[in-house]
Each structure stands twice: as C-alpha cells, then as structure tokens.
Structure 1
Amino acid sequence: MTDQHFDYDLFVVGAGSGGVRAARIAAGHGARVAVAEEHKVGGTCVIRGCVPKKLLVYGAHFAEDLDDAAMFGWDIPERRFDWPTLRDNVLAEVSRLEGLYGETLANHKVTVFKTRAVLTGPNSLSLADGRTITAGKILLAPGARPALPDVPGIEHAITSNDVFHLERLPKRVVIAGGGYIANEFAGIFHQLGAHVTIVNRSDTILRGYDEQIVDRLVKISVAKGIDFRFNAGFEALEQQEDGSILCRMRGTQDIVADEVLFAIGRLPNTEELGLDRLGVKLTERGAIVVDKEYRSSVPSIFAVGDVTDRVQLTPVAIREGHAFADTQFGGHPCVVDYDNIPSSCFSHPPIGLVGLTESQAKNKLGVIRTYTSDFRPMKYVLAGRNERALYKLVVDEGSDRVVGVHLIGPDAPEILQGAAIAVKAGLTKADFDATVALHPTMAEELVLMR
C-alpha cells in the first residue's frame, strides 16, 4: 500500500468532518496521511455551523422556558439576557472541540499543515508556504461556503459564518432565504428578542419538506411575531448614518434592519484549487463530479462531503470519508446508502423528517395512506401555551411499509432518530401499531395513530 515514490499515501485538502474521518481511518489502515487546512480543524460543522448554531438554539430556548416556568411554580423576578456571555461561551466550546479534532489527528500520526494547498498535478500539491508535496491519492474535502447574490451594497450583509462573532445582538434582523439555515436563525434571533423578517424569492420555504409540516411552522412563526415577505427580492442595501441598513426591495416594501443575513444556499469550495488545469470535471454549480467510490475524472483525485454538492449534511460527509478510506486503504470496498437519510431543521419549534413526503410518496408509489397526530404537548398545556405539535406517518398502501415520518414540535429531531431506524429497516404500520406506547411522552404518538 505504501509507495515511497510519494511523500504521502494520502493527502487530504480540508480538515472538516469528511476529511478528518477519511484521514483518521486511512491512517488506521497503515497509510501515511497528511491534511492541509487553512482555517481551523473541524470544518463547517464544528467551527461555524451545526455545533455553534445548536448551542445558540439551546440559548434561545430559555426565553420561552423562563416564561413557562411560572406555571410550574418557579418565581424568576428578573430576566436579563447577555449576548456576549452566550457568544463567548459558544466560541470557547468551538475552540475546545477544535483542539480535540487536532488531538485525534495527532494520535493517528496524521501530519497537519495549517495552510492552503493547491493542486499542481494528479499527485502533487503546492502549499501556501512554498513547499511542494506529493501523494499517491488526493482527497478533496474543502466543504462549501455561504452564497451571496450580486446586489449593490452586499458588503453590508452577513452570512451564517458571521453570526457567531457579532459584537452586539441586533434589534431588527432581515434574513434572506427559505431553507433550514434561514429558519433556524430566524428562531434564534426572535427568541433572543429581535424582530425578524424572512424574505424569500418564492412563496415556498423548506423545499423538500412535507407541506403540511411546513405550513404548521409558518403559522406558528407568524403567531410568534416573525414577519414573512414572500415573492420578494433585494434591489440594494444602503447603510444609513445611524449604522442601520436600508433594504431596497422589489415585490414588497423597503425594510430597515440592524443586520441583514443572507442564507440562500451554499456553494462548493472549488475555486482556486487548481482543478481547471488538471481537467477535474465540475458541475454548473462548481461541485466536483465523482463516481460511487468518490473518484473524480482524474483517477488519483477523490472528493467527499459538501464539495460534491450531493447531500450537504455532516453525517453524510463522515460516512463518505469513512467509506473512501476503507475502500482505498482498508481493502473493504463499501459505498454509502443515500436512501432514507434523516434530517432536521432546528427551527422554533424544530422539525425532524425521514423518508418520503406525502407528495413524493404519491408520485413514486401511487396509492398511500397518511396518519397524523395533531396535539398539544403536556408541558404546553400546564404552561398555558397554545402551540401544537404535528406528527405524520406516510404509509405505502401495497406493502404497509412506513415510508416517511415527519415531525414538528418540541425535541422533534431527538424523537425522529429512533423512528428513522424503523423506516430504514422497512418496518410496517402494523409494526408501529404493535409497539407498546411509552407514556406519558410525545413520542408515543408515533405508535398511537389509527
């Protein structure tokens, strides 16, 4: 396996979730491995994505929890939120995790170059410090970045990367986009006390999610005070003398905000990597085209994770990195199964989903059955909160298999993980019905729908 003609058997560009997993597993198989990372070890998820965002979600949840606490006998006379405390504690946790990722690579004897790497050949790279490295195989895992539109004054806007470093909490926030990132930050900012306006270019948010679940999220969000502007766009952003930003709009009235956050999608980080000179095939969006073994059009160059623009989820990147390393260095060829991948939106309330939506199931399977449970969580009943949860099962009529589970309500993603196993295993509605309920829980609704 080791080829002494090269400096390394594997060189990984990008120390995110997929790259770190591939490097660690390949090194465990005996390969000589190096990684180049120009920012911080851990990638989008750990440094500027899933982890710090989820910590902000937890922080935001305390707003309603403190309100509800009174009905449970707690007297909390003073409520005061301090943004710098939450921000700095989140960043400290990010730094701790970055250190752990670095330790993992070091423990597996993976060499880490904290600099940028550019491909100069099928088996060679140039580091920003001038060194040239050769490798038998090159794995590209540089991830993706937030997309920004070509709008005058766009330099006054921020992306999800910037939220974790804001000096102060804005009182008015405009969020462009209708995907999960936009809705998650809408919930965070709203619960922390900001007035939030979501601007979406179409009349649909969360494309690919079950329509009934999305409709419930919109209704709850509007009831909480989040403003939606559909079929609208930005003409320009103008910074005012007081530091605020005037959003010149089309399709709706102009909006004044303290921060304008663009969450309109993410683009693969393939620019200035030298791929064009080597003939690495890319999609129109700039993603690396790979086969089932994650090999690009250049046989010695591979890619995993968001840079391939297939399923931009951290657990998927991890699975891909592991599969690549086992296949190329472990003698255990394997591929990732992309069917029934569970996902979530940590909105307020959160959404969990796996499998087919109702419309997707009708198009694919024809005759289906759906079951729903529309209920008020026990905690909300005592707290006097009228917000309702909605659980939905999608069942194939012919086989009785549960082909989709869709939840919106407290802790929906936590509950969904167990249900995702059932869907992946091909269990039937009869199997769900035969399962004794765990009472009193919200999750028991999954086995009580008739």
Structure 2
Amino acid sequence: MENIVIGSGPAGRLASLELGKLGKDVTLIEKNHIAGTCLNEGCMVVCALTDITKYIDLNKRFNDYGFVKSQIEISYEKIVEKIVETQKMLRELNQMENESVGNNVVYGEASIENDHVRVNGESLEYDNLLIATGARPFIPDIKGSEYGLTNKDILKLDEVPEKLNIIGGGIIACEIANIYSTLGSEVTILARSTFLKEINETTKKYILKKMIPEVNVVENVNVTEISKDKVLTDNGDELEGTAFFATGRTPNSEIAKDIVELNNDNTIKVDEMMKTSAENIYAAGDVIGGYQLTPVARMEGITAARNMAGYLNKISYNCIPQSLSLNTEVSFVENEKSQCCDEDKATIAMPAIAGPHAFWHILTGDTGYAEIEFDKKNNKINKINSISPSSVSDVAYLSYLMRMDYNLDDYGNFLEIHPSTDTNYKIIKNMWL
C-alpha cells in the first residue's frame, strides 16, 4: 500500500516516520527543505537567537552587579552563519531518520491530480495521501507591504536593524521584539487590537515591565502605509525604521483547492481522525489551522499516519501547553473542558523563587511570576500562567496531569529535582494540597 506525504514539516515528517515504523511504503515529498518552517524559518531560529539574547542579558546583569567586567561584541552575520550551518546538519539527520525506516524522500513541487500525485514530471499513484504543506506569513493589504520583513527574512539580514517596527501583537511579535531589542534595535510593536491577548493581564504586565521594558507597545492602531524606512499609522504617527510583519499565517492549501473541502479561512477541513472530505486523503499541521504549534503538528501527523495504516484513533486538543520564548520563558495552559463554575474557582499567585537559573534575579526582584487557578470542588487545576526559567518543562508536565484528568491528591508524592520547578510546585504542594 503506497502512502504519499506532501510536506516534511513537523506534521509530515513525523507522519512519514510513523508510517515507516508501521511497515508501510512511504514517499515523502518536500518542496524546499526538510523539517519545514520550524527548523528553517520559525521556532528553531527564534530559539537560537533567544539563546544569544539570554547570554547578553545575563552578562549585563553580572556587569551591573560588579563581579564581572566584560563587554560583548555581537556579530549578527556570524550568528546567522552558524544557525545556517546547524540547520544543514539537522536536515541531514532528519532525512537519515526517515530513510532509516525505508521511506523514500523526494524533493520537488507536488501537485494533486485525480488519484495520483505529480512531482518532477513523474506520476505517483497512492492508496493514502497526507497533505501537510504548512502555512506562510500572512501579509495584510497595506500600501508598500512589499517593504515589510517576515520570519522568512530573519536569516537574510546583514545586520541588526537600527529601528524595527513590528506589526502585530501576538506571541511572535513579542518574541521578535525581545530578540532585536536585546540585540540593540529600537523596537516598536504596533498591535491592531490588544497586545498578547493570549495570556492573562497580570502576566502581560509582568512581561512589559520586567522583560521587554525598552520596547514601545502601541495598542489599537492600524498601519496604513509602509516604505523602505518608514511606517505610517492611522493615528498620524510616522515611525522611522524597518517594518516587520507578525500578523499571523495563511495556509498553503492551494494544492488541495477543488479536491477537498476548505474552511472559510482556506484551511483544510478535517475530522477527528485527520480525514478530509475526499476518500483516503488526510491533512495535518498548519495547513488545517487551529493550534499552529510544532508539538500539535506532530500529534496531528502521527494521528493521521496511524489512521492511514489502519490503526484507528482520534485526536484531542484539550490542555495544550504554550510558551513565549523570551529571556525568561513564559508558559501557559488552560483546561478548556473544565465545567468549573465561578464559585468553585480559587486562584493562587506569587512571585517565583530561586529555581534554576533564577538565583541572580533575586537582587532585582524579577525572578518571575506564577498564577494557578484551581477547581476547588473537584481538586483539579483549571489554568496556569508561569514565568520562570523552568516554566516550559513545568507547564508541560502539569498540562499532562490536566489532560489525564488527575486529581491533585495524586500529585502529593511527586518528588522534583532541586533546584528545578519552583513556584508551581510550591503553590500546588505547600499552599494548595
């Protein structure tokens, strides 16, 4: 049985790997580079640059304390060179991983025609097809938009922009602002509505005050025109500097037009088994919309692969942990299925304490912040917002407890490694249980 997967991002790559492990014949088709947006243009690039900004931030802190005297000289060109070098190594590993289970990796632009796929002039028949073609930056209809940069351009820059105007107010806008303000840019965020509406107000205030204090954030503003070195807004401001679009993503669903049913936003419509409206055609990853996160895309790809192989399973999106990659990580999760009423809710919040990598933050009072909402009646967690160096791992594990619907009494015997997960455990074990 021939299985064809179009797109080798997290969804397509993991689906192909899963199918190969299950002993199925697989052809994985990739238009550009294996591993998709995540490795080549997205979160891996952001994380690599944020590693640099964390180092700069820590060096500044030690200099301010007076026990280190050093001056950092940054070469953005060299940073880009080493990121690209690392990407090439990871691409080779990702290809070897897929080929190790017998999969055939083909590079070329695919098209779907009736019951076969065409690539590089060859027609390939399939029994099952997975469309995992991802998404691309959404560019709003603004005069001069061709002058705006996106995440696809980060590794094409020769130097750090002197002034950067980020159009958009979500997580990506915040992460890009943190990177370039730390690297020396004068950064302004122009949010069409509310900045960071994905997180609660207290966490947002902490981020603005403690983590990106030098970034100018303007809410409820629209950009009306862009030039090579200037941005105009509807409130009459003329902002000098380079424009950067962080305005969301649009699906690469053109390949499936008139073949499968699309949603109103042109994402591919799928059911809980990742099936499309067409027989034996599945879709996964950013092309179907929803949570545009690497772990979710992987989960969707694996779900699709197992169904393609005849091992029927359904996907669940409850309690999906999310994060902002900043100089101190910000993570959050919510149980969307909670039936807890207001009178049964209880919230405990406190500043973080000296967990991993936080000791030297105590003197300046910016160790972090955590807030956990509980369901008093059922003794469960409803929601977490956490800022700490360990929040990414903390919230990932706690989201598992939430997803598995564990009672918090089951958490009482959990033994952490010290120093590690700080405020979350203190709130749950010492203040709640």
> Same-fold call, TM > 0.5?
yes
Counterparts of 2:258 and 2:414, CA distance in 1:
58
SS at match of 2:402: helix
* Residue in 1 that maps onto 2:273: 293
Matching residue within 277, 280, 294 for 1:314: 294
1:415 aligned to 2:391?
no
1:283 aligned to 2:263?
yes
Q: 1:95 is matched by which residue type in structure 2? A: K
Taking a change above 3 Å as real, the CA distance of residues 142 and 98 of structure 1, as seen in their structure-2 partners, is: same
Offset of residue 417 of structure 1: 2.2
Counterparts of 1:366 and 1:267, CA distance in 2:
40
Counterparts of 2:117 and 2:32, CA distance in 1:
18
Counterparts of 1:117 and 1:436, CA distance in 2:
50
Matching residue within 240, 245, 259 for 1:256: 240
Q: Which range moves more in the overlay, 170-179 or 129-138?
A: 129-138
1:160-180, CA deviations, whole angstroms, 9 ceiling, x for partnerless residues?
111122111112111111111
Offset of residue 333 of structure 1: 1.5
Q: Is the 8 A contact 1:352 1:407 kept in 2?
A: yes
1:137-174, CA deviations, whole angstroms, 9 ceiling, x for partnerless residues?
11100011110011111111110111122111112111
1:195 aligned to 2:197?
no
Matching residue within 70, 85, 105 for 1:77: 70
Q: Any residues of structure 2 matched to 1:231-250 within 5 Å, and which?
A: 231-239=220-228, 245-250=229-234
* Residue in 2 that maps onto 1:448: 430
Counterparts of 2:4 and 2:360, CA distance in 1:
56
Counterparts of 1:191 and 1:375, CA distance in 2:
23
1:266-295, CA deviations, whole angstroms, 9 ceiling, x for partnerless residues?
111112x1x3333x1101111000111111
Q: 2:430 is matched by which residue type in structure 1? A: L
Counterparts of 2:136 and 2:399, CA distance in 1:
29
Q: Is the 8 A contact 1:180 1:347 kept in 2?
A: no
Q: Is the 8 A contact 1:15 1:35 kept in 2?
A: yes
Q: Any residues of structure 2 matched to 1:42-441 within 5 Å, and which?
A: 42-70=35-63, 74-121=67-114, 123-127=115-119, 129-202=120-193, 204-221=194-211, 224-239=213-228, 245-251=229-235, 253-257=237-241, 259-271=242-254, 273=255, 275-278=256-259, 280-329=260-309, 331-356=310-335, 367-375=344-352, 377=354, 379=358, 384-430=363-409, 441=420
Q: Is the 8 A contact 2:270 2:283 kept in 1?
A: yes
1:107-158, CA deviations, whole angstroms, 9 ceiling, x for partnerless residues?
222222211101111x21222x322221111110001111001111111111
SS at match of 1:35: strand
Counterparts of 2:224 and 2:369, CA distance in 1:
37
Q: 1:237 is matched by which residue type in structure 2? A: I
Q: 2:214 is matched by which residue type in structure 1? A: G
1:220-253, CA deviations, whole angstroms, 9 ceiling, x for partnerless residues?
346x2110111111111122xxxxx111111252
Q: Which range moves more in the overlay, 135-144 or 109-118?
A: 109-118
Counterparts of 2:69 and 2:54, CA distance in 1:
16
Counterparts of 1:70 and 1:383, CA distance in 2:
15
Offset of residue 363 of structure 1: 7.9
1:15 aligned to 2:8?
yes
Counterparts of 2:285 and 2:214, CA distance in 1:
36
SS at match of 1:64: helix
Taking a change above 3 Å as real, the CA distance of residues 370 and 383 of structure 1, as seen in their structure-2 partners, is: closer
Q: Which range moves more in the overlay, 73-82 or 94-103?
A: 73-82
TM-score normalised by structure 1 residue count: 0.88
Counterparts of 1:367 and 1:185, CA distance in 2:
39
Counterparts of 1:100 and 1:374, CA distance in 2:
41
Counterparts of 1:277 and 1:427, CA distance in 2:
44
TM-score normalised by structure 2 residue count: 0.91
Q: Is the 8 A contact 2:286 2:292 kept in 1?
A: yes
Q: Which range moves more in the overlay, 295-304 or 318-327?
A: 318-327
Counterparts of 1:382 and 1:343, CA distance in 2:
24
1:278-337, CA deviations, whole angstroms, 9 ceiling, x for partnerless residues?
3x11011110001111111111211011111022111111112112222221x4211222
Give the aligned length: 427
Q: 2:271 is matched by which residue type in structure 1? A: D
Counterparts of 1:13 and 1:319, CA distance in 2:
17
Q: Is the 8 A contact 1:72 1:382 kept in 2?
A: no
SS at match of 1:228: strand
Offset of residue 383 of structure 1: 6.8
Cα-Cα RMSD: 2.4
Counterparts of 1:26 and 1:440, CA distance in 2:
40
Q: 1:251 is matched by which residue type in structure 2? A: N
Q: Is the 8 A contact 1:376 1:387 kept in 2?
A: no
Counterparts of 2:222 and 2:118, CA distance in 1:
41
Question: Kindly, what percent of the aligned residue pairs are identical?
Answer: 22
SS at match of 2:287: helix
Q: Is the 8 A contact 1:380 1:386 kept in 2?
A: no
Q: 1:209 is matched by which residue type in structure 2? A: I
1:366-420, CA deviations, whole angstroms, 9 ceiling, x for partnerless residues?
6311011124647465674232511111111221211222102333213322322
Counterparts of 1:217 and 1:304, CA distance in 2:
33
Counterparts of 2:371 and 2:361, CA distance in 1:
24
